[in-house]
Chain A
Amino acid sequence: EAGVVQSPRYKIIEKKQPVAFWCNPISGHNTLYWYLQNLGQGPELLIRYENEEAVDDSQLPKDRFSAERLKGVDSTLKIQPAELGDSAVYLCASSSDRAEQYFGPGTRLTVT
């Protein structure tokens, strides 16, 4: 069974540029999560989807961050415009129940 797929694995952009990350969850997993992980910290939830509905986006900075999961399968997270402080690893996870989440390898973003 394929795991959670994320692309790109690495991205370097200049500040004020837009960037987008893509995630394809494990087949059959209805719940999809986007996390932010800063160096030396644990993952922090940005947004959680149940199918195509965003059921918890309270931690998503909506002035510059947006996300979508149009058909309830894969998802895109966008930052526009990026700031220096957005440099981090962006993790996608999926689950078929509310507890055990399976993570992708993440996208390491560097904003210069």
Chain B
Amino acid sequence: DQQVKQNSPSLSVQEGRISILNCDYTNSMFDYFLWYKKYPAEGPTFLISISSIKDKNEDGRFTVFLNKSAKHLSLHIVPSQPGDSAVYFCAVLNAGGTSYGKLTFGQGTILTVHP
């Protein structure tokens, strides 16, 4: 039972265009949502997050949108740069129960930005 799904294994975009990465979750107990970026042979690096009380958070070229009714979040990168090429993971945080504080990750989306 996958609680966090990234349905697109890969995404290819042209430099300068927008990259949109999507993530769906099933559990309404999740209250904090994060995006991580991973280069080969490195650990994931925190990118941006959003609390469940907001629907948008922006940091430079990166914006995360949260649609709680649809249990969907997305990451927008504008403009995309070749250095953004990496694997992007969405992650959700458990707000309560025995798994309080636990991060659950999606499967990842490989983003390739072509010059």
Query: Which label, helix, strand, loop or mixed, suits the secondary structure of the A interface?
Result: loop
Number of interface residues of A (CB under 8 A): 24
Number of interface residues of B (CB under 8 A): 26
Question: For the complex, is B102 an interface residue (Cβ under 8 Å from A)?
Answer: yes
| The stretch of B12-20, B57-65, B70-78, B105-113 that contacts the partner chain | B105-113
A41 and B34 contact, CB distance less than 8 A? no
Chain A 47-69, CB-CB to B under 8 Å as 1, else 0, gives 01000000110100000000000
Contact of A106 with B93 at beta-carbon distance under 8 Å, contacts A42-B105, A44-B105, A45-B103 already known: no
Complex contacts, A40 vs chain B, CB 8 Å: 9, 107-108
B102 and A41 contact, CB distance less than 8 A? no
Chain B residues in the interface with A (C-beta under 8 A): 4, 9, 32, 34, 36, 41-46, 49, 89, 91, 93, 98-108
